[in-house]
Structure 1
Amino acid sequence: MKELTGRVAVVTGGSSGIGRGIALACARAGMIVYVTGRSPDHLSETQSEFSERGLTVATLQVDVTDLNAMRQAAEQIEAEQGRVDLLVNNAGIGLTGPVSDATAADWDWLIDVNIKGVGNGIQAFLPVIRRRGEGGHIVNTSSMAGLLPIVAGLYSMSKAAIIGLSEALHIELLPERIGVSAYCPGPTHSNIASSVAKRPREYGESGYTAPGPEATEFQLSQPYMSAEEAGERVLEGVRRGDMFILTHPEFKEGVVARHRAIEDSFPDEPLNQERAEAIPFLLSSPVYQQENRLPAPVYTPVH
């Protein structure tokens, strides 16, 4: 999806952090931008920031765990614009800590937001994208924690699920010219820590201590990637049609080592040819072949 001017973008969790950075990149590219979020304060801040920059954004208060609300948002946007071209399933929570400390409610909340929330976005907006018959793009925000599950087990689990979902959907929707990307950022200035403190009551007690404001202040003091740079890198991945959008090159060595550990775990024995011939559809996909892959992206800062 190379030409973005005049197209319609929807960014869930777009009222703060990485989501807002992606939404700003979309607006600067000339797109019509809608952002959703749970916090009225964050939505108001987003409106103010866009206005100060001379940009336009529409905001909707929507909880991604509510499929009916997501469908209503999709219906509203389609009624107003007649189309959706880009969906960014960005809403997520950064619930972290030892797996053994998690309560049943922690499992439920993390899965409902980080996995089912993405599913709700796909169910609500993919039909709208399809109806135009002009292609489009979906970005699902995962994390480097989905590729390197070294810490934060439940969070890593949820983000690894999004990578698998995105790859399968990428292959599935290619014939319709609808691209799908798994976006796996490393540390980026965001409000993901503070989102944990706004746990809905229905999810009960957590096994983890919610981080205070100092957690966000600490993140902002670190040399992490800015949300705006992350947003521009995501939009470049959309233009390229990348299946994976990886923005932090400092993680490459670790990911390569992990993948090598996986490769080296296969049995060192002759291939069962009869079995292989019975399951060719499970063994690989053309999208992974070198001739079907683009060269690595090179980021050019936006001035």
Structure 2
Amino acid sequence: MKDLAGKTALITGAASGIGLGVATALAQAGVKVMLCDIEQAALDKAVEGLKRTNADVEGVTADVSLKSQLEAAAEATLSRYGQVHILHNNAGVAGGGAYGAWTDAGWNWTIGVNLMAVVWGCEIFGPLMERHGQGGHIVNTASIAGLISGSGNAYNVTKYGVVALSEGLRVELAPRGIGVSVLCPGFIRTQIVDSARNLPERFAGAVPARPAAGQQAIETWLGNVRERVAGGIDPLYVGELVREGVEGDWPYIFTDNEFEPVIAARFAGIKAGFDRIRGRAPPR
């Protein structure tokens, strides 16, 4: 999508962080943007701020872990702008816990927001892009954690799922004139560490209590993560990368090279697995 001016986008998780950075970059390129978020006060502030720059933006509240609310957001977008050309499935939470601290609520919350909302977004908005026949683009926010397993927590599992979904849909939707990119950011200045501020009541218990044993280690780890996030990349820069990724139809959008060696090591480990059986003839 080389010419973005006049197109329409919907962005989830758009009231702050990466979502607001992308909304800002697209609006500056002449895109009409519907900002979607669960946090009403932050959404109102973001929309007001962008409107002061003469951007054509509106806001709609939605809990994206509920498909019906995503469908309502789509209806609101069509009612306001008539068409949708760009979808950014960006909303995400750092939910769940490490092995030994898993809860059903934690898995359900994290999968609902990080993965199922992306599935539903593609399911709902893809046909709207096909219908107008002008082409479109979908950006799905995964994480660098979608390529590095780290610990076996729900966050990483969902982000791997977003990468797989995006790679598959890119092949499937290309003949229909719709591009698909997966955004795999590193440490960005967002509020991801404080995701529980928007925890819906139905997911009560999703954030496990920290056990007394090992609590100091957990606090130290959380402190390190908070420090890295607080000193992370400016979301406005990420927004510019996403805009460029949409224009250039990039399959993968990375924000930095910090974790490239770790990913290369993972690929080397996978190749080593194939090397171990090279030359063997499996029975048929």
TM-aligned CA distance change 1:61 to 1:221, over 3 Å: closer
For 1:268, the equivalent position in structure 2 comes to: 277
Q: For 2:115 and 2:164, how far apart are their aligned partners in 1?
A: 11
Unaligned runs of 5+ in 1: 276-303
Aligned to 2:277, the other structure's residue is in SS state coil
Unaligned runs of 5+ in 2: 211-217
Pair 1:148 & 2:157 matched: no
For 2:164, the equivalent position in structure 1 comes to: 164
> Contact (CA 8 Å) 1:189, 1:219: kept in 2 or not?
no
What is the CA-CA distance between 1:197 and the residue it aligns to?
3.0
For 1:43, the equivalent position in structure 2 comes to: 43
What is the CA-CA distance between 1:90 and the residue it aligns to?
0.3
The Cα offsets for residues 37-57 of structure 1, whole Å up to 9 and x where unpaired, read as: 111111112023213444332
Pair 1:234 & 2:238 matched: no
For 2:255, the equivalent position in structure 1 comes to: 247
Q: For 1:198 and 1:67, how far apart are their aligned partners in 2?
A: 17
For 1:93, the equivalent position in structure 2 comes to: 93
For 2:267, the equivalent position in structure 1 comes to: 259
Pair 1:187 & 2:187 matched: yes
Query: What amino acid does structure 1 have at the position aligned with 2:48?
Result: S
Task: Report the more deviating stretch, 122-131 or 203-212.
Answer: 203-212
Pair 1:201 & 2:195 matched: no
Query: What amino acid does structure 2 have at the position aligned with 1:239?
Result: E
Q: For 2:266 and 2:228, how far apart are their aligned partners in 1?
A: 29
Q: For 1:23 and 1:188, how far apart are their aligned partners in 2?
A: 16
Task: Report the more deviating stretch, 3-12 or 203-212.
Answer: 203-212
Percent identity over paired residues: 33
Query: What amino acid does structure 1 have at the position aligned with 2:240?
Result: E
The Cα offsets for residues 205-238 of structure 1, whole Å up to 9 and x where unpaired, read as: 13535999x9799458843100100111111111
Aligned to 2:92, the other structure's residue is in SS state coil
Q: For 2:64 and 2:73, how far apart are their aligned partners in 1?
A: 10
What is the CA-CA distance between 1:92 and the residue it aligns to?
0.8
Query: What amino acid does structure 1 have at the position aligned with 2:37?
Result: G
TM-aligned CA distance change 1:37 to 1:101, over 3 Å: same
> Contact (CA 8 Å) 2:92, 2:192: kept in 1 or not?
yes
Q: Give me the TM-score of the superposition, normalised by structure 1.
A: 0.83
Corresponding pairs, count: 274
Q: For 1:76 and 1:143, how far apart are their aligned partners in 2?
A: 28
Dislocated runs of 4+, deviation >6 Å: 214-217
What is the CA-CA distance between 1:9 and the residue it aligns to?
0.8
TM-aligned CA distance change 1:47 to 1:80, over 3 Å: closer
For 1:295, the equivalent position in structure 2 comes to: none
Task: Report the more deviating stretch, 59-68 or 155-164.
Answer: 59-68
Task: Report the more deviating stretch, 75-84 or 227-236.
Answer: 75-84
What is the CA-CA distance between 1:256 and the residue it aligns to?
0.8
